[in-house]
């Protein structure tokens, strides 16, 4: 990500990532404790399935991001004019 951000914006980028990481840790603790409390008598492994579903969603979003970035890079790389035979 630092390669895609201009040098003057890299500090803001990593500060934003740090804020998101902290928010995810706080919210994750609250959510997973509540899910565990609600499902401990029914299904003890529900929190692990929820964790794997969130990880799979993150992986899918990462793959989609990579595909979009590669397509946009390919479009920029191969733009030009087509010349007919001389």
Average pLDDT value over all residues in the chain: 86
Q: pLDDT of 53-85, one tens digit each? A: 999 999 999 999 989 988 887 665 555 566 767
Q: How far is CA 28 from CA 21, 22, 24, 77, 82, in A?
A: 10, 10, 6, 41, 53
DSSP code string of 3-50: TTS-GGGHHHHHHHHHHHHHHHHHHHHHHHHHHHHHHTTT-TTHHHHH
pLDDT in the model for residue 25: 92
pLDDT in the model for residue 79: 53
């Amino acid at each position: 990500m630092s390669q895609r951000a201009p040098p003057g914006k890299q500090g803001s980028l990593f500060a934003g990532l740090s804020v998101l990481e902290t928010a995810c840790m706080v919210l994750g603790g609250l959510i997973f404790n509540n899910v565990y409390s609600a499902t401990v008598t029914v299904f003890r492994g529900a929190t692990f399935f929820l964790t794997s579903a969130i990880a799979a969603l993150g992986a899918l979003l990462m793959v989609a991001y990579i595909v979009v970035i590669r397509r946009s890079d390919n479009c920029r790389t191969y733009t030009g004019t087509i010349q007919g035979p001389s």
